[in-house]
């Protein structure tokens, strides 16, 4: 995974929900899985400085775009141990991190006491309409069933201010996997890969206009193709 590849090739970055309130067994399983692997994940996941130059470039472009607009804070959804959250803060963004897993959020708070980290799902942010200047969903929506992405993206659109931007990044493809082991620990969650055009279409239908995209072919860092989409709320 380019945006979130671990040093041993594990594919998962974010601990995010796969359904909305009330909490489902799927969401509970994702949380428990990431609580279990949190320490190993924090050790193995790539830091922003270790990402490929294209991924770093997309993060920098997102940061500059949002910083210039000065519309409001930025939410890093599925922030994990907070490495990318801190990277965006270093690029001048008023950013906070959100993660479903307490095992992820607690070390993020210890490592970055100057930043705010919230344990919550991306569908229950407690953020009002039009509040956010930006949203980062960086390798963090792949546990969400495709049928629930329209609701998820509608929530992104609702919380973004007019002119606010979303940066979405993930592996792309056309498959679903059920994982039972990751980072040397037992887990229980599904992993959904979608074609980039399908994701772009869902964002557009949610009222988020795609203004830039990057598609990367597999290479030595990532065994699967990856994509980034930068979208804007009108």
Confidence at residue 10, expressed as pLDDT on a 0 to 100 scale: 38
**pLDDT per residue as tens, the chain (234 positions):** 334 444 343 333 333 333 333 456 677 888 888 888 899 999 999 999 999 999 999 999 999 999 999 999 999 999 999 999 999 999 999 999 999 999 999 999 999 999 999 999 998 888 999 999 999 999 999 999 999 999 999 999 999 999 999 999 999 999 998 888 888 888 888 889 999 999 999 999 999 999 999 999 998 777 899 999 999 999
CA gyration radius, the chain: 16
Q: What is the pTM of this model?
A: 0.89
Domain range annotation of the chain: 25-122+130-233
**Class for the domain spanning 25-122+130-233:** alpha beta
Confidence at residue 164, expressed as pLDDT on a 0 to 100 scale: 98
């Amino acid at each position: 995974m380019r945006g979130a590849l671990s040093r041993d090739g594990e594919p998962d970055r974010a601990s995010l929900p796969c359904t909305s309130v009330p909490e489902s067994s799927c969401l509970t399983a994702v949380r428990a899985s990431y609580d279990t692997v949190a320490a190993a994940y924090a050790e193995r996941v790539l830091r922003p400085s270790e990402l490929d130059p294209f991924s770093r470039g997309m993060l920098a472009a997102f940061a500059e775009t949002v910083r210039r607009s000065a519309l409001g804070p930025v939410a890093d959804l599925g922030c994990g141990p907070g490495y990318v959250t801190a990277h965006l803060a270093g690029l001048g963004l008023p950013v906070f991190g959100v993660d479903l897993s307490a095992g992820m959020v607690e070390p993020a708070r210890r490592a970055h006491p100057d930043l705010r980290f919230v344990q919550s799902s991306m569908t229950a942010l407690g953020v009002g309409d039009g509040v956010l200047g930006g949203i980062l969903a960086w390798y963090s929506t792949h546990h969400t069933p495709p049928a629930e992405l329209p609701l998820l993206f509608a929530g992104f659109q609702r919380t973004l201010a007019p002119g606010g931007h979303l940066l979405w990044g993930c592996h792309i493809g056309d498959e679903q996997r059920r994982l039972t082991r990751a980072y040397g620990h037992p887990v229980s969650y599904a992993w959904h890969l979608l074609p980039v055009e399908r994701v772009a279409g869902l964002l557009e239908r949610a009222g988020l206009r795609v203004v830039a995209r990057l598609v990367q072919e597999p290479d030595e860092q990532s065994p699967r193709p990856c994509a980034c989409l930068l979208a804007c709320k009108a």
